[in-house]
Amino acid sequence: MTALEGVKVICVGQFYFAPYCTMLMARLGADVIKVEAPQGDPYRRLPTVDDDGYPIQFRFLNSGKRNIRLDLAHPAGQDVLRKLVGNADVLVQNLSPGAMDRFGLGYEQLSEINPRLIMASGTGFGTFGPYAGESAMDLTIQARSAIMSTTGFSDGAPVRTGPSMVDFMAGTHILAGVLAALFQRTRTGRGQHVEVALQDAVLPSLTSNIAGLLSKNTANFERTGNRHGGMSVTPYNAYPAADGWVTVLCPTDKHWDRLRELMNDPDADDPRFTTMPGRCAHMDEVDAVVARWTGTRSKDDLAAALKDLKIPCAPVVTLPELLEDPHIRERGVVRTVDDEQGSFMTLGSPLLLSDSPMVEPTRSGGLGEHTDQVLSEELGLSADDIAKLRDAGAI
């Protein structure tokens, strides 16, 4: 059986955060119903589409779910959600702060309908604190959380991270909270409210940077480029190769000794470089020695030679190279799925359980594609009942 077989989940969210959390739950076997406003998830309307004109981001995060169209600003739409909650185990939402409460769909109201309900809410800054209630997106959280000020090079402007790390880190945090609440419910019989603030979820990733700031033994720079965030490990950088770039780091003196012997460069024998504090005090000189050695070799040859000596390293791959990487293909986090309509690419799952097979992804549905099915099967509504809701504009 799958890990979450029989678990019913409602996703009231858009963009990346709640959809990613519930996509992982779908891969674990949960029955996920995605609730969309009448106009649909904004990611249905992005210009990044596949050959069939389908929005790729939406497909990656919403395949394997049932899609219903529901106007939560309409009293009848709110009533439909309340009825769905009566049969649900989990509701994950990331609407604008306070929206669910304004609709009369906050945790206190919904838990009266279903005391076993676990409601998970994601917001930018949480429900208390000076910034509570402020709207937020991945970019603005990166700005507010010192992610941007610590990304890039010291002589350049602040830079956002390439991937949308905030949304996806927060999505995995809220999944952890939901799974913990499901486990606790097996002992108490009660649901609870799980809250994750996006800013809270990313702050722990700054541990090395904060250590560098607080320490009196390292140079303090906010933006350290490809160097260690705390400026306390050297070498630790992306170095030029003949055909691109390679990352190399020596977390201990033993790693450095192996690299020094491999490079066979008299400058690497400088006694100032013997210890980690010494190397960190002379980062520019150490990096110059390493770069001189890497610059004449291919990135794959460098990676192979370093791996033989168990020195942490990796070639810097491009996105096209990544998608064709045989390791990525075999692991299946990015999957190409064949069905009666052809082939499409979507996400698998990074969560691999030895006794719980992953549910293979299916195509993401059209806007409101499963509305009639869900209302009929889950709530027992007749065709006339559904028609009345549609005529009223609730669905």
Q: Measured between alpha carbons, how far is 62 from 30 in angstroms, rounded to an integer?
A: 13
63 is a domain residue: yes
pLDDT of residue 15: 87
Same domain, 386 and 363: yes
Domain count, the chain: 2
354: pLDDT strictly greater than 80: yes
Give the pLDDT band of residue 80 (cuts 50, 70, 90).
very high
pLDDT of residue 154: 87
Q: Which of 167, 287, 301, 325 is catalytic?
A: 167
Same domain, 259 and 150: no
What secondary structure does DSSP assign to 284-324, as a single string? Answer: HHHHHHHHHHHTTS-HHHHHHHHHHTT--EEE---HHHHHT
Residues 6 or more apart whose Cβ sits within 8 Å of residue 202: 141, 142, 145, 147, 165, 166, 169, 170
Same domain, 276 and 354: no
Asked if 77 contacts 70 with a C-beta cutoff of 8 angstroms, the reply is: yes
Domain boundary residue, one of 274, 293, 316: 316
Same domain, 312 and 336: no
321 is a domain residue: no
Pairing of strands 342-347, 31-36: unpaired
227 is a domain residue: no
Mean pLDDT of 296-302: 95
| Angle of CA points 114, 115, 117, to nearest 5° | 70
Residues of the chain with pLDDT > 90: what percent?
86
Tokens (6 digits) for 42: 């904004």
Same domain, 106 and 238: no
pLDDT of residue 135: 85
Mean pLDDT of 316-323: 93
348: pLDDT strictly greater than 90: yes
pLDDT of residue 217: 67
Same domain, 170 and 261: no
pLDDT tens-digit readout, 11-25 = 999 888 999 999 999
Same domain, 160 and 259: no
Give the pLDDT band of residue 62 (cuts 50, 70, 90).
very high
pLDDT tens-digit readout, 149-190 = 999 998 899 999 999 999 999 999 999 999 999 999 999 999
pLDDT of residue 194: 98
Mean pLDDT of 102-124: 97
**CATH at 287:** 3.30.1540.10
Indicate the SS3 state at residue 31: strand
Cα 390 from chain centroid? 35
Indicate the SS3 state at residue 374: helix
pLDDT tens-digit readout, 223-256 = 889 999 888 899 999 999 999 999 999 999 999 9
pLDDT tens-digit readout, 30-39 = 999 999 999 9
212 is a domain residue: no
- Average model confidence (pLDDT) across the chain: 94
Mean pLDDT of 286-311: 96
3 is a domain residue: no
Same domain, 159 and 239: no
pLDDT tens-digit readout, 179-232 = 999 999 999 999 999 999 999 999 999 998 888 888 866 666 788 899 998 888
pLDDT of residue 234: 96
Asked if 128 contacts 199 with a C-beta cutoff of 8 angstroms, the reply is: no
Is position 167 annotated as part of the catalytic site? yes
pLDDT of residue 355: 94
Same domain, 247 and 102: no
Whether the full predicted model's pTM is greater than 0.85, yes or no, is: yes
pLDDT of residue 374: 97
283: pLDDT strictly greater than 70: yes
pLDDT of residue 254: 97
User: What is the residue range of 264's domain?
Assistant: 233-316
67: pLDDT strictly greater than 70: yes
- Torsion angle, CA of 277/279/281/284, rounded to 10 degrees? -160
**CATH at 116:** 3.40.50.10540
Q: Measured between alpha carbons, how far is 302 from 14 in angstroms, rounded to an integer?
A: 43
